[in-house]
Structure 1
């Protein structure tokens, strides 16, 4: 069976952040491609509708100014043509403007979900062509000597048309073709060089307006894409928030269920466990007489040791649960860190001696007291020393250091010459019930709760936990307690033996 790693655990819990982002991007691309396949312009349907909506808004808002412009041209054209002819031309232009304005308003008033975009695009295209043909009727002024005026009018009409139809490129091109042909036909009314030059410049201006409309179309597309991406991000954030709220709710329910389970099981397990420990100790010590079979005494020892192991495991699980739930209360008091470490080293000395291990102590006995929980500190040091003794091979060495930190705090360092931990398994050993692969192969059995409990207790004291290890080079754990927990020694109070004269006089009085 392969060794369990952090990556395997993460994959078992769900996709990683990078994998989730990749899946989200793929889903977005698939959705975009599907919408493009159902569109006639190769864009997403939302973009198709937005472009047509922009066009309809431009056309609906430009109706009155265009009518005024047509009326001004018709009034000026009376210098070359009869007023009834100019009025008839203005009426035709007015009808086409009214047609396009009406179509645009109908489009804007229709439900976006039921709009046939292809049909409306064709309607707008036909309306643009008809309106351009009505503007192109100004070429009749060429035969009456007003060709220059007609040329200027056609250029202005081209500029207005291409700008208004910029969001529908095909409509802009279709609308510009009649105007360009009308502009070119004016050259027949003025074959002179200056007339041809003016017509050429007008044609160039129309091409410029067409290019400018393409730039406006690109800018509009960029704005639409930016807004679509922003909306997508907002939607994803809302979905992520909803998922987070649901996950938090489930986590709270699971944590409550876990707390209830541990509270129930601790009672249910401790009750029979006390009986097992008590009776096994009676049988182990042969209180009621010597066992007939010597194996029974060995069995009693095994039962008692297994019961103690189970009791320690239950206590560790409960401690870790209280730490994770934030319900572990510190009983703080002045504590001499060096004395706590010395007591723990003495307790673990027999186990180290049985494995022929050597302790190297570098403890500063002059350290001032700490304001901390003595039981928690003792558990921290015992867990670290227990791991060091457990994972160090027979004949190995263990270094124990206690001293000052650079910031004025105090630290405890435990280093061993054991097998070490690979870098990719450091996260595993710090997780609940996590154990490194080399430790599993070379060390005794354990619950995998020692380091998580140490880390939790250190963080409750506001300290820092640092674990460094390399395979075949050993492991070092450094626990740092902050300077705010170091108790400063108060200076001695100086008492003057001779009271002041004024004080003596006051007492005499």
Structure 2
């Protein structure tokens, strides 16, 4: 039954972060599978476009270098080959390269959404085959004396083709096929062992370039996948941040509305409680006569104690609400911190004595006065001492220190010998209504608002709050007030030899820094 209740509560709060992440991952995987099913290469459509775009950019960038390469090979071939054949071959190679460059330009100018990737992929494969076929014609026009030079040129073309077409594997193979067939065709026209070795080495180099193109394709796909995952993570982070900001804004608005509501309910909540406390005290003390049933006196006493507990709880909630709502106004005046701490210690002495606890005070009486709210300062010290008495076992010791800070401010330290707080629960005890696990087992009843109220009041004074605790070693709370809240002492007299005693400066009044 308890598990069912927890499940129902969780459903009411909505899906957990793990469920949201799981659903998001499933949706992303389904989208990826759907795109792969409609893709030409088994990858996502975005990857297909990126690979074709890279191919087109590489081909456009290599247009002029390939043109210059064709002119250089044509000029060198004219040494052995008649000029007409060289001109015909170079014109074909240049036309094929120009058509390839124009096609790539047209592809890059179109919007990605309007492109037919399958159609353009086939077009690039055909164009790559045609351009390589034009280069392979070099062997047909070359005379036997120029075949070695032609093979060298085909090796260069094969390397360039595989590197440029690596992002489209079918186009790379289509570009290598005419070059390999043209190279192998030389075996039909020669029986020279040296030429046969050159043909074998040329084919081997072309196969090596084909394997290298495959590795480059795998590397390009891996890069695209990494970039897509990074973009997806950034998108999710931005969405999560937007959701977090919206949730935080709503939570802050709800918390502020709650705080404003409680801050305005002070009179409505305290008035009926005061009536309950007043009448229960009259009944408890039997002001109008002895009760006919002795149990009525006990009931009245229980009603009065419960009312006092509820009134204290309401006062703490209202104080914390006013602090959170920014409606806690400080009434600042010159306060002697040491005297305030001593008065609070005296107020808690009776309660500590009933539990056999002892106070050890190390208070510097020479501290100057603080410019602070005396009521808030008293509440800070009382809350710290109350927690120390509450969490210290019978016979324990509570140490109170008041002195200077290293920056010239003043501090109050209250250390007990209680059960302590585990490190992972320090955030819990600082939250509203939060209590540590060891404190729940060993301490008296409490609302869990003491430390949050202390920190809120200290923050209003611009001070610092520090909580130190270890299990079974006790807890120490240190509250510091900045040096700017200390009252300046009288300035030192500057008595020099050239000044008469009558010219001594007048003492000035202390002022708030």
| TM-score bucket of the superposed structures, by smaller chain | 0.7 to 0.9
> Secondary structure at 1:400's aligned position in 2?
strand
Name the counterpart of 1:504.
none
Residue number in structure 1 paired with 2:57: 57
CA shift at 1:43, angstroms? 3.6
The C-alpha deviation readout for 1:208-264, integer Å capped at 9, x for no partner, is 655664565466446545543553354234323422332243124313421342144
Q: Which residue does the alignment assign to 1:301?
A: 301
Once the two structures are superposed, residues 399-425 of structure 1 have per-residue CA deviations (whole angstroms, 9 ceiling, x without a partner) of 222233444433322223333333333
Alignment-derived partner of residue 268 in structure 2: 268
How far is the alpha carbon of 1:313 from its aligned partner? 1.6
CA–CA separation in structure 2 for the residues paired with 1:423 and 1:371: 34
Q: Offset of 1:378 from its aligned partner? A: 0.9
Q: CA deviation at 1:357?
A: 2.5
C-alpha distance in 1 between matches for 2:319 and 2:161 = 78
> How many Å apart are 1:447 and its aligned residue?
0.9
Secondary structure (helix, strand or coil) at the match of 2:393 reads: coil
Distance 1:103 1:491 in 2: 89
**Helix, strand or coil for the counterpart of 1:414?**
strand
Deviation at 1:114, TM superposition (A): 5.4
Structure 1 residues 401 and 260 mapped into 2: Cα distance closer, same or farther (>3 Å)? closer
1:131, distance to aligned residue in structure 2 (A): 2.4
Aligned equivalent of 1:364: 364
State the number of aligned residues.
Answer: 494
Secondary structure of the 1:447 match is coil
Matches of 1:20 and 1:339, distance apart in 2 = 57
- Structure 1 counterpart of 2:402: 402
User: Partners in 1 of 2:418 and 2:72 — Cα distance?
Assistant: 98
- The answer to whether 1:385 aligns with 2:385 is yes
Do the aligned partners of residues 348 and 90 (structure 1) sit closer, same or farther apart at CA in structure 2, a change above 3 Å counting? same
Q: Tell me the residue number matched to 2:469.
A: 469
Which ranges of structure 2 fall in alignment gaps of 5 or more residues?
Answer: 3-8, 505-513
CA contact (8 A) 1:81 1:144 kept: no
Question: Is 1:178 the counterpart of 2:194 in the alignment?
Answer: no
SS at match of 2:265: helix
Aligned partner of residue 307 in structure 1, secondary structure: helix
Shift of 1:434: 1.0
Give the gaps of 5 or more residues in structure 1.
3-8, 501-509
* 1:228 pairs with 2:228: yes
Structure 1 distance, partners of 2:40, 2:22, is 29
Aligned-residue Cα RMSD (Å) equals 4.0
Q: Contact 2:256–2:324 at 8 Å: present in 1 too? A: no
**1:147-182 per-position Cα deviation (integer Å, ceiling 9, x unaligned):** 345334433432432232122133213311321332
C-alpha distance in 2 between matches for 1:489 and 1:16:
59
Structure 1 235/87 Cα, relative in aligned 2: closer, same or farther at 3 Å?
Answer: same
* Residue 342 of structure 1, CA deviation: 0.9
TM-score by length of 2: 0.80
Q: Is the 8 A contact 1:399 1:416 kept in 2?
A: yes
- Which structure's relative contact order is higher, taking Cα pairs within 8 Å and 6+ residues apart? 1
TM-score (normalizing by structure 1): 0.81
